[in-house]
Amino acid sequence: MIIGSKKRLSLLLVLTMVVTLVFAPVAGVYADADSVVITIVHTNDTHSRVDAGIGFAKVATKIKEVKEANPNTLVIDAGDTLHGQTFATISKGESIIGLMNAMGYDVMTPGNHDFNYGQERLLELAGQANFPIITANLIKKDDGTPLMDPYVIKEIGGLKIGIFGLSTPETAYKTNPLNVEGLTFANPAEISKKMVEELKAKGVNAIIALAHLGIDKESTDTSYSVRNNVKGIDLIIDGHSHTLLGDIDNEGKDTIIVSTGEYTNNLGIVNLKFENGELKAIEPSLYTKDDAAELKEDEEVAALMNETTEKNKVITSVVVGKTDVILDGERAQVRGGETNLSNLITDAMLNLTGADIAITNGGGIRASIQPGEITMGDIITVLPFGNYVVVKEYTGDQVLKALEHGTASYPDLAGSFAQVAGLTYTLDLNQEAGKRVKDVKVKGAALDLNKKYKVATNDFMAVGGDDYTMFMDGELVLEMGGLDEILLEYVKSLDAIPAAVQPRMSVVEKKEEVLTETYTVKLGDVLWKIAEKFGLAWEKLAEYNALKDPHLIFPEQKLMIPAN
């Protein structure tokens, strides 16, 4: 499909391409005396999930296929690539840079999670990359200069393609703020205007914004905002909101926005078609994991992935702490109650975020840790999902609803069982689910339903995972690193691991049902005689029937008789 009002090929060009397709070799389809096609292969938000979706090894194969069909190909990444899974975090992103080098990437812009190792480490990784990592709006406060190169001009197919980078200002709180200390994020739209002006002055044939901005409604600085306020950008290759191409409004727009979703579930492919140096058409598409089902893995990239996995096995044996008792993460325990391990995890969340409350789902805890040395591998096994810790502001009412939801199945097991720190509460099993949580206290003070609290949770629950829908609405305060990393750092900081469970939930057990029968009062009955008949004290019978005056009963009155 051809998109954009300025991007229509002339009938002559169409006929020329048809003739070329029939008579020329494959490379000739993409470049002749008057027309050039430049192909962009792009990824975003892979979060170091190298085996997910299509997978890096198959992506590498597809890139080679595209380049064989058209040597005028650029490979581009829109960020959130270097962090997320232990495959990357153990080497602090170096393993991902190695794969990207082997896959032939040409340029990347950093996403917020690419700062999770700190800005100095990001600069080190940029030095290891065979391609530039660019961003135009990340500025050093001390001298007002960009932290990284703002743009790159790629000369390909006899044309000059200007590509500038944009990083989301949300990075200021969607990574640990210390990771971007001393930096400021300039307004993406204002910087984009300057980039367009500068690149046009250098005689580029097309301008691409490589953006990690996204189009989330709750975000202010989005790719839509850039497109609506900046003229002269031909293509925005986007990330951050994990948006699929089909969910982006490109109808009738001069600037086209593309994105692939997440985790290499799709590979983006865009053809830029030029006639006499002028961009005439932009044709975006997605190559899906279903399309890649029969694709073979690239041997070099697969070997690098296997090599990293084997190296990681050595690193995961590194000792980070010691426990004298079993740290209980068994399914039957963490999905139906509190354990010493669930206490440890939520305490780590509370300690390293500075939040008022911490809450995580018991179903995210997947294993126990045996007595003795605690290794990195143990912690990864306990928390294998690569979830991030986020801090959001919720009202006391939302917190109460979360506790009710997280205990709704108790004592039956549920992955949504609420493991908490920073608060205590009572669960009254004599009440119906949804009305069982009582006496909630935050740091010793009664929960105020109208007050806002800073709550540390995981990114899965923060978007409604495990049906914590009440957590979908809340102002994001902070986005930290992986939950496994936070537990790891907390364990390192402790002189001793607490052995005993430190309960945050008190349970009022359900009263046993008392069998009763009904007695109909007869003329001449008195309460003590009725009680004597059933082997009861008259006081108990009066109390059981809530009689205001035990001396006053009437014929035909129904009395409930408790089992003796």
For position 369, which CATH number holds?
3.90.780.10
If pLDDT is split at 50, 70 and 90, which confidence band does 385 have?
Answer: confident
Sign, CA torsion 270/168/120/310: negative
Distance CA 103, CA 91 (A): 19
Q: What is the pLDDT of residues 169-202, one digit of tens each?
A: 999 888 878 889 999 999 999 999 999 999 999 9
Are 121 and 236 part of one and the same domain?
yes
DSSP symbols for 118-181: -HHHHHHHHHH-SS-B--SSEEETTT--BSS--EEEEEETTEEEEEEEEE-TTHHHHS-GGGGT
Instruction: Tell me: do 78 and 57 sit in the same domain.
Output: yes
Which of 293, 312, 331 terminates a domain? The answer is 312
User: Cis ω on the peptide bond leading into residue 371 (within 30° of 0)?
Assistant: no
Mean pLDDT over residues 117-133, rounded?
Answer: 97
Percent of the chain surpassing pLDDT 70: 93
| pLDDT digits 0-9 by tens, 71-92 | 999 999 999 999 988 889 889 9
Give the residue among 113, 159, 110 at the shortest CA–CA distance from 131.
110
What global pTM score does this model have?
0.72
pLDDT digits (tens, 9 = 90+) for 238-294: 999 999 999 999 999 999 999 999 999 999 999 999 999 999 999 999 999 999 999
What is the tens place of the pLDDT at every residue in 23-69?
Answer: 333 333 444 557 999 999 999 999 999 999 999 999 999 999 999 99
Q: 455 with 392, same domain?
A: yes
- pLDDT value for 152: 98
Name the average pLDDT for the chain.
Answer: 91
Q: What is the CATH number of the domain that holds 533?
A: 3.10.350.10
The residue range of the domain holding 173 is 11-312
Q: Is the pLDDT of residue 307 over 90?
A: yes
Confidence of residue 436 (pLDDT cuts 50, 70, 90): very high
How many domains does the structure of the chain reveal?
3
Confidence class of residue 309 from pLDDT cuts 50, 70 and 90?
A: very high
Instruction: Using the predicted structure, report yes or no on whether residue 18 has a pLDDT greater than 80.
Output: no
- Same domain (yes/no): 225, 280: yes
Does 553 lie in the same domain as 502?
no
Q: How many CA atoms lie within 13 A of 380 on its CB side?
A: 18
